[in-house]
Structure 1
Amino acid sequence: MNAPPDPVAAQRRGRRIFLLIALVFALPVASAWLIYFAAPELIPQDRTNRGQLVQPAQPVEDLALLDDAGKPVPLDERWSLIVFDDGDCGAECANALLMTRQMRLSLNNRMKRLSRVLVVPADSDLAALHELLDAAHPDLTIVRDIDGSARELFGAGSAAAGESAPGLHLVDPHANYMMRYPAGIEPKPLRKDIVRLLRASQIG
């Protein structure tokens, strides 16, 4: 006479099978994440990111970024695309804002996951900047870099000399500076990078 099946042993076998199936499905995703963020040089050149990875990523939660009411502006809720300017938003700044606005709009239902932030020196006239930019860029957040720490972290020049960090800078929803893009980057390759990151990440 055969012994009755052991329910405990059967339960353990079921758990092992379940874990094995879960591992099979999770391993490709985990491998893709590891390669993309830890070893991008392994990705074929025509598929890699268009920006430059900041390694290691730099935390930005302690930056002294204040709005026109003097309140701190955190960069830890969504993906943030950072533009620097010397305070008057001339032609280079205007072009960068126009390009990033159109790129963000092209994200469609994903665009709410990406914010745009204009960082200016501490003595900038934010009221004048809002008057200049709000109509064309209602989503744009404008902040003062009170102690120059943002310019230093993002690789900017001297605020007194009116030097700005070239290009664009990407901060993730965990408030880590993790990607920089060259000045004059076209919207199409920038959008490809942003879409890839948004698809790969469920945060923000």
Structure 2
Amino acid sequence: MSDAPTRPLKPAPAAQQDQLLDLTVHSLPGAGASNGAGARQTKAGRWKMIAVLLVCAAPVVASYLSYYVIRPDSRRVFGELIDPQRPLPSLQALTPEAVGVELQSLRGQWLLISVGGADCDPLCEQHLYLQRQIRESLGKDKDRVERVWLIDDLAPLRQALLPALHDATVLRVDAAALRGWLAPAAGRALPEHLYLVDPMGNWMMRFPAALDKAGAASAKRDLERLLRASGSWDTPGRQSTGAAAR
């Protein structure tokens, strides 16, 4: 092996040092560029989130527009639209078993309401029958509609009616308080009509008096249109409250 002394390394020329320094500096991303890319990613993510929310909310928004803005006027419906609508009152009712029920607890579904005394005269029986037929004819949407019988007296309930009421809501209410909410057409009595309440708890339609099967078919068409317009903002399948038979 040679014992010759190792030569010291010569420093690179100044021009070469400048070139290396320039290459090092230009190979690093600037802080501003990094922040800008992050901001663009955040903005893109925010827009994606907004788009997802709009897609999810679109059916609900469309249903509210259909019901409150584009719904048909009185010339195109069989029932009479109530304007202004009347909200469910804060009224205590009783089930046939004398259990207290707040009337406002019925919100969340469409309510097809009949009114009458507990003895249920032939007109009352006809309305109970038509309520059931209208609801059953709605097919898969029938669980979105609750048929309600509001009894406006203290007479005992006829036992023969129980089989026809197994899927109905039957409640006793104060007659005077009920008249402060629902109202018949001029020259008619309260029990002569069927009444429709929307899932928000607003009485919004009254069907004509002396309703027969042909009229019930027209009432069903009104209800079908309203169900289409209000899809996604009612609660189907609620158990009946105050059913007389279980």
TM-score by length of 2: 0.63
Residue aligning to 2:201: 175
1:51 aligns with 2:82: no
C-alpha displacement of 1:149: 0.8
Task: Between 98-107 and 23-32, report the one with greater CA deviation.
Answer: 23-32
Partner of 1:187: 216
Give the aligned length. Answer: 193
Using the TM superposition, give the Cα deviation of residue 103 of structure 1 relative to its aligned residue in structure 2, in angstroms.
Answer: 1.4
**Unaligned 5+ runs, structure 2:** 1-25, 236-246
Equivalent residue runs for 1:114-125 within 5 Å: 114-125=145-156
State the shift of 1:93 in Å. 1.6
Q: Which amino acid aligns with 2:203?
A: Y
Supply the RMSD in Å over aligned alpha carbons. 3.2
Which whole-Å deviations, capped at 9, do the CAs of 1:25-54 have from their partners, x for residues lacking one? Answer: 86686356335324646x695xx4432333
2:231 aligns with 201
Matches of 2:128 and 2:199, distance apart in 1:
21
Structure 1 alignment gaps of length 5 or more? 158-162
Instruction: Determine the structure 1 residue equivalent to 2:96.
Output: 68
Following superposition, the deviation at residue 122 of structure 1 comes to: 2.6
Identify if the C-alpha distance between structure 1 residues 86 and 122 changes in structure 2 by more than 3 Å, giving closer, same or farther.
Answer: closer
Alpha-carbon distance between aligned partners in 1 of 2:62 and 2:180, rounded to the nearest angstrom = 34
**Alpha-carbon contact 1:64-1:150 (below 8 Å) kept:** no
From the CA coordinates, give the structure whose radius of gyration is larger.
Answer: 2
Q: Which residue of 2 aligns with 1:133?
A: 161
CA separation of 1:82 and 1:60: change in aligned 2, threshold 3 A:
same
Work out the CA distance in 1 between the residues paired with 2:125 and 2:190. Answer: 14
User: In structure 2, what residue type is equivalent to 1:189?
Assistant: S
Amino-acid identity (%): 29
Conserved 8 A contact 1:86-1:164: no
Contact kept? 2:197, 2:203, Cα under 8 Å: yes
Q: What is the one-letter code of the residue matched to 1:193?
A: D
Change (3 A) 1:60 1:32: closer
C-alpha separation in 2, matches of 1:44 and 1:109: 27
Q: Does the Cα contact within 8 Å between 1:154 and 1:165 map onto a contact in 2? A: no
Q: State how far apart, in whole Å, the 1-side matches of 2:85 and 2:74 are.
A: 22
Deviation, 1:22, is 5.8
Aligned CA distance change for structure 1 residues 24 and 135 (closer, same or farther; 3 Å): closer
| Aligned mates of 2:71, 2:225 — CA distance in 1 | 13
1-10 or 78-87: bigger deviation: 1-10
